[in-house]
Structure 1
């Protein structure tokens, strides 16, 4: 006789898979919370890895003419000088042109007020009431003392993160293969070969992502700064530098840099030129979002364009700006490493690929 209390085979298998999925989700949540707890260290190290993928070929070329320590030091110092120079250029242009810009503010505000009044049929009394209500809302939005303290703490963490990032960048460039070799030794002996080759493949994907991102940022900067120069918007060169730097922060960076360009056009030339500048910014960002990022980034990291868009959206939802920044390279790395582990590729083929990549300076050599 058949026991009526026996669980059907399909239900039993479904429950077993459900428990496994729950355990996997619980492990992922635990990892996410752990990373969030030490995010002040994880984020600078992640940025250092991205910079290492970009700067390692330069350090290896310099290493052909000098010791590795000197090549690494020059690379890191050069990076600091270049970034500092770009930021100084932006600050200098804004400082020198601030007086002229201030003189145009009154005219620009008057034009904006006239345009709003004529477009939306708002009287001066209503306009003043709306302005006063907005001012009151801002003043009541929170405790200014607490906000200032929070900004101070954030600035302190930011400076600490900069130092951690620079130290990590130096040692990744100088001693990256040895560090990776130590990590490989933590794996079981039977899995070390696959772990080593998987790391090399992941590094190739990360390098391809960084190179593609540089191209996207350059196109954004050239397009928006050229539009600003044609429209005679103040600080066109500084706008281009700002766009280039902020393009490495997906979504938020484009919005901030575009808003700066539009606001400068609005203050300097009024609503008409500001709307044209807004159209230029939107056109460049649409080119980036629908052409450059999906196809250039997608091909560089072997990820489908739809997956690129969905990955950026999901990463931004989960971890904000940092999640959007690392979403695409993480997907590319997981995709490439997963294919490698499932393909059963021979160690000799991996060794030949590693040697070719090491000669080109695109991936760390095996320790």
Structure 2
């Protein structure tokens, strides 16, 4: 009934009952959250250090999610595995090459007219500046020379710029080759790769991991489809607006917007600027301003309506989470972070919820789906099939 009082100098021993329950629960959550945050920080650090390797692999994963249904359809038509993967890759490369060739050929066909009109617009700009500000041609030319003189355009500058451009081009080319190489093996041998990954987990957790990854892979596939839809909407919207303004090169503008929409932020800015510049050169300041308004309206609809709502409903992530994921990805890893943030968040959202709800225990279809979904990484159930019973005369007695 009575607690013994501690004598002076006696060491204090803290018993679990002496800590309030709320503090114990908060402490238990706190150290677990710190452990999770530490693991996430280490993973992000390693990804940033190995970005030249990780980014092409992630691109290969997204392309595999995009081509997966097509390759699986060919396999169901009894097309050999290697031939189906080759056809899928050649289809992708051919489609991108055809779109790029279409843009380049259209621009080259009107290049002479574009140069002539650009020179005319530049002369008109100089005349406007001379009339508005009362400047002579000599003063304007000296101002232009003084402006460019601030950049110290010496031979060393051009050499350094060429070296930097060559290094960047080499990195991009290497990344593209590595992405295609990874895509080939994801399409060709994804089953064995996934079995190796699942084999790293404890045997009792493999069914849960396999089912959760299957659900996550289906979500990534939906993300790839929605991304194509969003890019198509951007291209059609800006292309129709350019057509309404009676601008030339409408088809190259639309194709450039479609391809640029797959590169977050930078792609939209570059392709939108291209449309505005063409409007300024061929039609004048007012149509260029109207073109700029149209580009901004389409991009705002895409960024604030299509991306959060359509993509959020397709990948089962709240629109606010989509916006925050893109912002956080851009803050942590720049442009690649904005590209991969949404599929990564969508995958882990479905992955964690699937395991937490224990769906793999009551979903036989998920157990038989194999590794990630119906895409290129699946070719049968992960769990081993039961062996048939031995004949009666060979059964152990």
Q: Give TM-score, length-normalised by structure 2.
A: 0.83
Match of 1:216 in 2: 230
CA shift, 1:39, in A, is 1.5
Aligned-pair CA distance for 1:113? 4.5
User: Counterparts of 1:101-140 in structure 2 under 5 Å?
Assistant: 101-113=114-126, 121-124=132-135, 128=141, 131-139=144-152
Is contact 1:108–1:269 with CA below 8 Å preserved after alignment? no
Question: What residue is the counterpart of 1:53 in the other structure?
Answer: 65
State the alpha-carbon separation in 2 of the partners of residues 114 and 5 from structure 1.
89
Is 1:41 the counterpart of 2:53 in the alignment? yes
* 1:66 lines up with 2:66 in the alignment: no
For 1:313, the equivalent position in structure 2 comes to 327
> Comparing 292-301 with 25-34, which one deviates more in the overlay?
25-34
Equivalent residue pairs, number: 364
**Which residue of structure 1 lines up, in the alignment, with residue 94 of structure 2?**
81
The equivalences for 1:140-155 within 5 A come to 143-155=157-169
Residues 24-33 or 144-153, more deviating: 24-33
Which residue does 1:279 correspond to in 2?
Answer: 293
Instruction: Tell me the SS of whatever aligns to 1:29.
Output: helix
Decide which of 166, 171, 177 is 2:180's aligned counterpart: 166
Q: Distance in 2 between matches of 1:15 and 1:143?
A: 58
1:290 corresponds in structure 2 to 304
Q: C-alpha distance in 2, partners of 1:186/1:175?
A: 18
Could you tell me whether the CA contact under 8 Å between 2:211 and 2:360 is conserved in 1? no
How far off is 1:166 after superposition?
1.1
Q: Does 1:203 align with 2:214?
A: no
Deviation string, structure 1 residues 132-180 (Cα, Å, up to 9, x no partner)? 4442344469933223212211211211111111111111112212211
CA contact (8 A) 1:265 1:274 kept: yes
Identify the residue that residue 337 of structure 1 maps to in structure 2: 351
Deviation at 1:123, TM superposition (A): 3.7
Give SS of 1:249's match: coil
Structure 1 unaligned residues grouped into runs of 5+: none
> Which residue in 1 is equivalent to 2:113?
100
C-alpha spacing 1:16/1:122, structure 2 compared with 1 (3 Å): farther
Q: Deviation of residue 117 (structure 1)?
A: 6.8
CA distance in 1, matches of 2:206, 2:256: 44
Q: Deviations 1:177-210 (Å, cap 9, x if unpaired)?
A: 2211111001111211111111101101100111
1:30 corresponds, among 38, 42, 62, to 42
Contact 1:200-1:354 at 8 Å conserved across structures: no
Distance 2:184 2:50 in 1: 21
Shift of 1:87: 0.9
Residue 108 of structure 1: SS of its match in structure 2? helix
Unaligned runs of 5+ in 2: 383-397
Higher helix share: 1
| The structure with more radius of gyration | 2
CA contact (8 A) 1:115 1:271 kept: no
- With 124-133 and 278-287 compared, the bigger mean Cα shift is at 124-133
Contact residue 189 and residue 377 of structure 2 kept, 8 A: no
Aligned residue number for residue 342 of structure 2: 328
- Measured on the aligned residues, the alpha-carbon RMSD in Å equals 2.9
Contact 1:208 1:301 in 2 (8 A): yes
Cα distance in 2 for partners of 1:91, 1:158 equals 20
- Cα distance in 1 for partners of 2:143, 2:226 equals 46
Worse-matched range after superposition: 195-204 or 57-66 = 57-66
Partner of 1:300: 314
Conserved 8 A contact 1:298-1:304:
yes
User: Are residues 159 and 196 of structure 1, via their aligned partners in 2, closer, same or farther at CA, if it must alter by over 3 Å?
Assistant: same
Listed one character per residue, the Cα deviations across residues 72-130 of structure 1 (whole Å, up to 9, x for unaligned) are 11111121111111111111111111101011012222344456677xx5343575565
